[in-house]
């Protein structure tokens, strides 16, 4: 590695709206063992779909090097995503490297949970403590429909239970809500995890990418979600855990835990966004709804020093002016800037 510097001497950076860099989401693979309709619909991502060849994907060493630079610029919270990150071989090795990095305060993993039963203990031993697990319905048929796979939710539920017993805390379950698809099962999902310590977060169906068939009519506002669950279980608002937390929190009045809603469509949180994303092939993406990113892999592999990479990251973030959700919320006909093909970055490429 050329030009190695002590990134702990650098200072946090701010974008054009004064938003600091605090969170880094790292996509370790573009592959997934599910074909969720809102992310990788099977009719598009079929058997013949060509995912990134291995040489195009960042190695763990490259991810660690870039992460260290991001941490030096203020990122203290890391999230490992995909695709499905657990299909990446030896993922616990990366977790172990990142967990020992000075300046890293928190590491979480987002997964569909299907492979969690055989990986949970390794991840824990490597230093991982927080999990977010996608589970859109407990209903067998709806689960199969939304994941595009023949298996039901049993393996995911098994993974959650194993993780609970090991000691992962918090465990969060993400439910993408689509009107007419799974919205009639929300109360059932909330009830299943009530009192277990698992936090369920209901997410408004988002217009990420261009291939998920997003339609505003399928969005159920988070207010409606809370009202539906509140009809059965008394809820009260809870304070955010920290500035910029994406989920609005609600406690059960009987003390048996909490739920959350992520209102990315109806009540966007662009103003507090502190998240940068490192794509599978080494691009810095500054917005979930972006059309592309800044290539860090090519200059790194061409021998760029840490100073040169830091300058590239810094200039990208300090010139950041993304506020797509906020603009879309005020004008539902608003279209995000796209690349030459008219496409936004797909969810599987940057992990949400």
pLDDT on residue 28: 98
Tell me which of 209 and 257 has the higher pLDDT. 257
Average pLDDT of 28-36?
95
Please check whether residue 57 lies inside any domain of the structure.
yes
pLDDT-wise least confident of 176-190, 248-262, 331-345: 331-345
Q: Confidence class of residue 292 from pLDDT cuts 50, 70 and 90?
A: confident
Average pLDDT of 56-78?
97
Domain count, the chain: 1
Work out the mean pLDDT of the chain and round it to a whole number: 88
pLDDT on residue 336: 44
Q: Confidence class of residue 339 from pLDDT cuts 50, 70 and 90?
A: very low
pLDDT at 16 over 60: yes
pLDDT at 58 over 80: yes
Segment (H or E) for 252: strand 248-252
Please check whether residue 134 lies inside any domain of the structure.
yes
pLDDT at 2 over 80: no
The Cα 31–Cα 233 span in angstroms is: 38
Torsion 88-74-168-238 (CA) sign: negative
pLDDT on residue 335: 46
pLDDT-wise least confident of 27-41, 206-220, 330-344: 330-344
Nearest in space to 123 (alpha carbons), one of 105, 135, 134, 111: 111
Average pLDDT of 108-125?
98
pLDDT on residue 63: 98
pLDDT at 214 over 80: no
Domain, as residue range, for 308: 7-350
Please check whether residue 64 lies inside any domain of the structure.
yes
Tell me which of 351 and 315 has the higher pLDDT. 315
Say if residues 236 and 251 touch (Cβ distance below 8 Å): yes
Nearest in space to 260 (alpha carbons), one of 337, 321, 180, 199: 199
Q: Confidence class of residue 213 from pLDDT cuts 50, 70 and 90?
A: low
Tell me which of 273 and 136 has the higher pLDDT. 136
Quickly count: other Cβ atoms within 10 Å of residue 308's Cβ.
15
pLDDT on residue 330: 46
Can you read off the two tokens belonging to residue 276? 């940068």
Please check whether residue 91 lies inside any domain of the structure.
yes
pLDDT on residue 46: 86
Q: Which residues contact 236 (CB under 8 A, 6 or more apart)?
A: 250, 251, 253
Read off the CATH number of the domain in which 264 is found.
3.20.20.70
Tell me which of 86 and 244 has the higher pLDDT. 86
pLDDT on residue 352: 56
pLDDT on residue 150: 94
pLDDT at 4 over 60: no
pLDDT at 344 over 80: no
Dihedral angle of Cα 228, 231, 237, 243, to the nearest 10 degrees:
-10
pLDDT on residue 269: 61
The Cα 25–Cα 80 span in angstroms is: 6
Please check whether residue 2 lies inside any domain of the structure.
no
Please check whether residue 1 lies inside any domain of the structure.
no
Please check whether residue 61 lies inside any domain of the structure.
yes
Please check whether residue 344 lies inside any domain of the structure.
yes
Residue 123's DSSP bridge partners are none
pLDDT on residue 211: 55
Average pLDDT of 296-300?
98
SS3 118: helix
pLDDT at 253 over 90: yes
pLDDT at 139 over 50: yes
pTM recorded for the entire structure: 0.88
């Amino acid at each position: 590695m050329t030009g190695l510097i002590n990134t702990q001497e650098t200072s946090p950076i701010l974008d054009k709206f004064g938003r600091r860099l605090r969170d880094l989401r790292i996509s370790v693979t573009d592959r997934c063992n599910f074909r969720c309709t809102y992310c990788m619909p099977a009719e598009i991502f079929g058997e013949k779909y060509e995912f990134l060849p291995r040489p195009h994907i960042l190695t763990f060493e490259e991810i660690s090097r870039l992460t260290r630079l991001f941490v030096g610029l203020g990122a203290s919270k890391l999230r490992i995503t995909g695709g499905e990150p657990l299909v990446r071989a030896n993922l616990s090795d990366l977790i172990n490297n990142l967990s020992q990095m000075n300046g890293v305060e928190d590491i979480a993993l987002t997964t569909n949970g299907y492979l969690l039963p055989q990986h949970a203990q390794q991840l824990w031993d490597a230093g991982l403590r927080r999990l977010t697990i996608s589970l859109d319905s407990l209903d067998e048929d709806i689960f199969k429909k939304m994941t595009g796979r023949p298996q039901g939710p049993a393996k995911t539920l098994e993974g959650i239970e194993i993780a609970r017993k090991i000691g992962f805390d918090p465990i969060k379950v993400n439910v993408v809500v689509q009107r007419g698809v799974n919205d009639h099962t929300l109360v059932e999902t909330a009830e299943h995890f009530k009192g277990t310590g698992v936090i369920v977060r209901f997410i408004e169906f988002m217009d990420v990418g261009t291939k998920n068939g997003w339609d505003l009519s399928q969005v159920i506002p988070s207010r409606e979600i809370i009202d539906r669950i509140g009809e059965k279980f008394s809820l009260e608002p809870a304070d955010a855990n920290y500035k910029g937390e994406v989920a609005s929190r609600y406690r059960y009045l009987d003390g048996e835990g909490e739920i959350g809603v992520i209102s990315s469509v109806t009540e966007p949180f662009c103003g507090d966004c502190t998240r940068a994303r490192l794509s599978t092939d080494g691009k810095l993406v500054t917005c979930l709804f972006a059309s592309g990113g800044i290539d860090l892999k090519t200059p790194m592999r061409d021998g760029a020093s840490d100073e040169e990479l830091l300058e590239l990251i810094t200039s990208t973030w300090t010139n950041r002016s993304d506020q797509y959700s906020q603009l879309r919320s005020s004008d539902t006909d608003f279209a995000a800037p796209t690349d030459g093909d008219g496409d936004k970055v797909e969810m599987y490429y940057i992990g949400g």
